[in-house]
Amino acid sequence: MKKTLFAITIGCATALTTMLTAPTSAGAAGLTAPTQQITIQGKKPARFNHGTHTALGLECGACHHDQEHQPRNAEAIGAMAPEQLKCAGCHNKDFKNSKLQKPSQIFHAKCKECHNAGYNDKKGPTKCAGCHLAKGKQAIEGC
Ligand code: HEC
Ligand code: HEC
Ligand code: HEC
Ligand code: HEC
């Protein structure tokens, strides 16, 4: 029960933050990455924390790119709605490269490979539970 409540709290907090920051995202406030941990939704939801990654010195464009696969900088991102930043907006069954259509393909390539190789002498989690939320923490009903 405690765990469920915790998950719900995190979920609501994330949703609330998105709502609160959304109206200002076209202005200067949009230039910074979300400070709360976000959940990447899908068949097997995973956690992602921008702060951990920007603290490593990673540019936004290390993960966010445009339709030409050119890196997006904080300014370009600030002018976009969060919805437009969804990786699956491009990487879906219609994507030209069949090896980059499914969430597991793009995220495991992007996230796991760096975690395995390491960055600035630090390694990230490579075990499933290091990124994926435990079952039961997935549903954020009522939020
Ligand atoms: C470095 C982080 C990370 C690790 C480690 C990781 N995953 Fe994932 N995985 C993700 C992300 C992010 C997604 C996208 C969320 C989603 O689609 O549900 C994802 C998606 C998936 C999906 C959904 C497949 C699809 O295409 O819809 C499955 C299944 C999956 N992972 C299984 C695993 C298994 C099994 C392991 C361990 C062997 C693992 N993952 C380890 C980050 C990770
Ligand atoms: C290590 C990879 C990575 C880096 C670096 C990164 N992001 Fe993200 N960002 C993501 C992922 C993954 C998502 C979720 C996309 C999805 O759900 O499909 C995301 C989502 C977002 C969102 C939408 C949040 C929401 O709640 O939907 C914003 C805004 C954002 N990023 C801004 C930034 C900015 C600004 C920077 C640079 C300062 C940055 N990001 C750097 C991976 C990254
Ligand atoms: C506006 C469309 C678009 C969005 C949004 C997008 N991508 Fe891509 N992505 C591309 C294109 C185009 C390529 C190049 C494909 C090729 O060379 O076959 C690519 C290539 C990739 C690759 C393979 C090359 C590499 O960089 O390792 C990965 C992995 C990837 N994207 C992950 C992501 C992730 C994760 C997100 C969300 C943070 C994302 N993409 C958002 C269009 C997009
Ligand atoms: C370019 C390298 C790189 C990329 C890309 C990257 N990570 Fe990481 N990640 C790291 C490193 C290094 C750490 C360990 C940081 C530390 O120990 O301070 C880490 C830590 C983490 C952690 C554990 C700490 C925390 O923030 O909760 C999670 C979860 C995580 N990454 C998820 C992801 C997901 C999901 C993606 C893809 C959307 C991703 N990472 C992309 C390098 C990367």
76-122 tens-digit pLDDT: 999 999 899 999 999 999 999 999 999 999 999 999 999 999 999 99
**Global pTM value:** 0.89
Counting from 1 in the atom list of ligand 4, the atom nearest the Cα of 63 is 5
Q: Is 20 strand, coil or helix?
A: helix
pLDDT on residue 27: 41
Closest by CA position to 88, among listed 102, 77, 99, 98? 102
pLDDT on residue 88: 97
39-54 tens-digit pLDDT: 999 999 999 999 999 9
In terms of Cβ atoms closer than 10 Å to its own Cβ (0-12, 13-18, 19+), residue 94 is exposed
| Ranges of each domain in the chain | 2-131
**What is the rounded average pLDDT of the residues 63-72?**
97
Span from the CA of 66 to the centroid of ligand 1 (angstroms): 23
5-59 tens-digit pLDDT: 444 444 444 444 444 443 333 344 457 888 899 999 999 999 999 999 999 999 9
Q: Are 21 and 14 in contact, with CB atoms under 8 Å apart?
A: no
Residues contacting ligand 3 via CB (< 6 Å):
63-67, 69, 87, 89-91, 97, 100, 106-107, 109-110
Report which protein residue has its CA nearest ligand 2's atom 10: 63
Question: 2-131: what fold?
Answer: Cytochrome C3 (3.90.10)
Ligand with an atom nearest the CA of residue 36? 2
Span from the CA of 9 to the centroid of ligand 1 (angstroms): 23
131 lines ligand 1 (CB under 6 A): yes
H-helix or E-strand spanning residue 56 = none
Q: Which residues have a Cβ under 8 Å from the Cβ of 127 and sit 6 or more positions away?
A: none
pLDDT on residue 135: 80
